[in-house]
């Protein structure tokens, strides 16, 4: 539906097939998210550094997530927005 054609599993543990599982009254995404969360699996979109390549990555350990480098930290928690916004 959303054009995701490529996916990659990055599993550090075995995840055996289920004998019986039912999807009822939930979207495909909600169904898969429920099953994956029961197994400790999370997912994210990976985008190629160059070009438009994209794939869905399924992981069961944070070791499967690549590091992005340092992020700046602003310890100033007293800042206020001068204009109203949401």
Domains defined along the chain, listed by start? 7-64 (3.55.50.10)
Q: What is the pLDDT of residue 86?
A: 57
The strand ranges marked E within the chain are: 7-10, 42-47, 54-59
What is the C-alpha separation between 7 and 59, in angstroms, rounded?
A: 11
Tell me the pLDDT tens digit for each residue of 21-78.
999 999 988 999 999 999 999 998 888 778 778 888 999 988 878 777 777 776 766 6
Q: What is the pLDDT of residue 66?
A: 75
pTM, rounded to two decimals: 0.67
């Amino acid at each position: 539906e959303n054009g995701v054609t490529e996916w990659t599993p990055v599993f550090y543990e075995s995840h055996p097939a289920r004998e019986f599982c039912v999807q009822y009254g939930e979207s495909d995404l909600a169904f898969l998210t429920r099953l994956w969360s029961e197994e400790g699996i999370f997912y994210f979109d990976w985008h190629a550094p160059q070009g438009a390549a994209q794939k869905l990555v399924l992981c069961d350990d944070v070791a499967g997530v690549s590091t992005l480098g340092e992020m700046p930290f602003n310890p100033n928690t007293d800042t206020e927005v001068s204009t109203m916004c949401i």
